[in-house]
């Protein structure tokens, strides 16, 4: 029995039609399968591999930490230098009000922690989220996920959740003195890259302040330079009360975090004590890898080139079959007339040697979110593949 057959038999499947590419090696912006076929990676593990696959400095940091220690104690009890140093680096590159980092295993767990913190700090239960939002698949995160298609099969979910429409005044009107928090993606990713109107997001921030509601911004996909700034919220002149991080946070290793002020985060330390706990959150190897990746982004002039690379993609992705291209840095959606058209194109692109997929709430849109280290020649190579596929009858 080959690896693909074993995969289908013994690895729990999330759909009836997984891509099932057998990847045996990854380097930079490329993936390699069991037959040695090379693919340019246009999705970067869904915004995970911002510094590329196996960046030498990330590998070095992992190896160094392996020689020191792996897991030693439940999170928050021992002083573990990778956690301390990475939290300090994050705080040094965030507004002063975002100074306390709670590391988790994943972005979804960061969402769960933030929801608990908002309830605990405000003594309220109402949470406002958006239609077509994606925040994870655990039951709390699923409760705020913006699609009844995914929610319905798992009810009952959390009560007190209000779903409103992104970029519309109705969400602002729904914020009141009973609202614990508003949770928004800084840019809606799975909706097919929908950015907020600056004045709308600022009005949300203002209403939250007036009502004592916490503003939670989900930067799990948009953080770490993806939009052309280190943090997506920098484009809109707002600062959240709680920031959600994941994906690129670990430099390719599993890691999430929610970040708030020290005073706010201390709400989880009493009544009850251990208000939020995790065994493996902030694993030292993951923190070492993530910190190395973040230093690469900060020190190697990668983020400053994101907008230039975005413009190159936009200049090349012109074809009569393309209905629209929406982008925020190297987070891009290429829209076609239907899912059927998009799926046929995606399958052909993969066959031609580039990896891409679609969006949960915009299945007619092709996803492009490559490593931020992608070179100009690699962008041209990827777009040549896409356009050759589109030229087919």
Going by pLDDT thresholds of 50, 70 and 90, the confidence category of residue 16 is confident
Domain end, chosen from 235, 268, 299, is at: 299
> CB neighbours of 347 closer than 8 A, spacing ≥ 6?
none
What CATH number should be reported for the domain holding residue 322? 3.90.1150.10
For residue 85, how far is the Cα from the chain centroid?
22
Residue 140, pLDDT > 90, answer: yes
What pLDDT, in 10s, does the model give residues 185-203? 999 999 999 999 999 999 9
Regarding whether 33 and 63 lie in a shared domain, the answer is no
Tokens 């076609």 found at: 336
Q: What is the count of structural domains for the chain?
A: 2
Share of the chain above pLDDT 70, in %: 100
Regarding whether 99 and 11 lie in a shared domain, the answer is no
Regarding whether 99 and 15 lie in a shared domain, the answer is no
> CB neighbours of 251 closer than 8 A, spacing ≥ 6?
51, 55, 58, 61, 289, 290, 291, 292, 293, 294
The structure tokens listed for 139 are 């039951």
- Please return the burial class of 155, using the count of CB atoms within 10 Å of its CB with bins 0-12, 13-18 and 19+: exposed
Domain end, chosen from 299, 314, 347, is at: 299
Regarding whether 347 and 311 lie in a shared domain, the answer is yes
Regarding whether 180 and 143 lie in a shared domain, the answer is yes
| Structural domain of 337 | 3-54+301-390
What pLDDT, in 10s, does the model give residues 257-283? 999 999 999 999 999 999 999 999 999
Give phi and psi for 318, each to the nearest 5: -125, 120
Regarding whether 249 and 100 lie in a shared domain, the answer is yes
Regarding whether 249 and 332 lie in a shared domain, the answer is no
What CATH number should be reported for the domain holding residue 293? 3.40.640.10
């Amino acid at each position: 029995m080959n690896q693909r057959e074993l995969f289908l038999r013994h690895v729990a499947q999330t759909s009836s039609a997984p891509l099932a590419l057998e990847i045996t090696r990854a380097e930079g912006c490329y993936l390699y399968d069991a037959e040695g076929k090379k693919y340019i990676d246009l999705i970067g593990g869904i915004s995970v591999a911002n510094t590329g696959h196996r960046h030498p400095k990330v590998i070095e940091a992992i190896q160094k930490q392996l020689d020191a220690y792996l897991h030693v104690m439940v999170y928050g009890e021992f002083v573990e230098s990778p956690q301390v140093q990475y939290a300090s680096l994050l705080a040094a590159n965030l507004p002063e009000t975002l100074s306390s980092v709670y590391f988790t295993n994943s972005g979804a767990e960061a969402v769960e922690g933030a929801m608990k913190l908002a309830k605990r700090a405000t003594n309220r239960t109402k949470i406002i989220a958006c239609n077509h939002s994606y925040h994870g698949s655990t039951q709390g995160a699923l409760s705020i996920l913006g699609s009844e298609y995914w929610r319905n099969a798992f009810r009952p979910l959390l009560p007190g959740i209000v779903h409103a429409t992104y970029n519309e005044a109705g969400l602002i009107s729904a914020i009141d003195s009973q609202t614990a928090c508003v949770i928004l993606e800084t840019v809606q990713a799975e909706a097919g890259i929908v950015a907020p109107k600056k004045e709308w997001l600022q009005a949300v921030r203002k209403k939250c302040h007036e009502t004592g509601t916490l503003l939670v911004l989900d930067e799990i996909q948009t953080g770490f330079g993806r939009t052309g700034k280190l943090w997506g919220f920098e484009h809109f002149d707002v600062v959240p009360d709680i920031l959600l991080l994941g994906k690129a946070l670990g430099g390719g290793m599993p890691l999430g975090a929610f970040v708030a002020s020290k005073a706010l985060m201390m709400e989880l330390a009493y009544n009850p004590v251990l208000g939020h706990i995790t065994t493996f959150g902030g694993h030292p190897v993951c923190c070492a890898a993530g910190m190395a990746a973040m230093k690469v982004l900060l020190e190697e002039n990668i983020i400053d080139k994101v907008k230039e690379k975005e413009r190159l993609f936009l200049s090349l992705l012109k074809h009569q079959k393309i209905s629209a291209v929406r982008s925020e840095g190297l987070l891009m959606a290429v829209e076609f007339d239907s899912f059927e058209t998009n799926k046929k194109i995606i399958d052909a692109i993969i066959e031609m040697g580039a990896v891409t997929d679609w969006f949960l709430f915009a299945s007619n849109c092709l996803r492009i979110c490559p490593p931020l280290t992608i070179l100009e020649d690699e962008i041209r190579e990827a777009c040549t593949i896409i356009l050759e596929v589109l030229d087919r009858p």
